[in-house]
Amino acid sequence: MRERREEKLAAAGVRVGYTVTKKTGNAVERNRIKRRMRAVVHQVMPIYAKQTHDYVLIGKRAALNTEFKTMVAELGSSLSRVHQNSNKSGTKYGKQ
Is residue 85 domain-resident? no
The pLDDT of residue 76: 93
Q: 13 pLDDT exceeds 90?
A: no
**Is position 83 within any domain?**
no
Please indicate, yes or no, if residue 91 is contained in any of the structural domains: no
Does residue 80 fall inside a structural domain?
Answer: no
pLDDT at 3 over 80: no
Contacts of residue 12, defined as CB under 8 A and 6 or more positions apart, other chains included, come to 49, 51
Residue 92 has what pLDDT? 53
Q: 23-80 pLDDT, tens per residue?
A: 999 999 999 999 999 999 999 998 888 888 899 999 999 999 999 999 999 999 999 8
pTM: 0.75
> What CATH number does residue 34 fall under?
3.30.230.10
Name the residue range of residue 33's domain.
5-74
User: Domain for residue 31, yes or no?
Assistant: yes
Residue 53 CB partners (closer than 8 Å, separation 6+):
13, 14, 15
Asked if the structure places residue 42 within a domain, the reply is: yes
Q: How many domains does the chain have?
A: 1
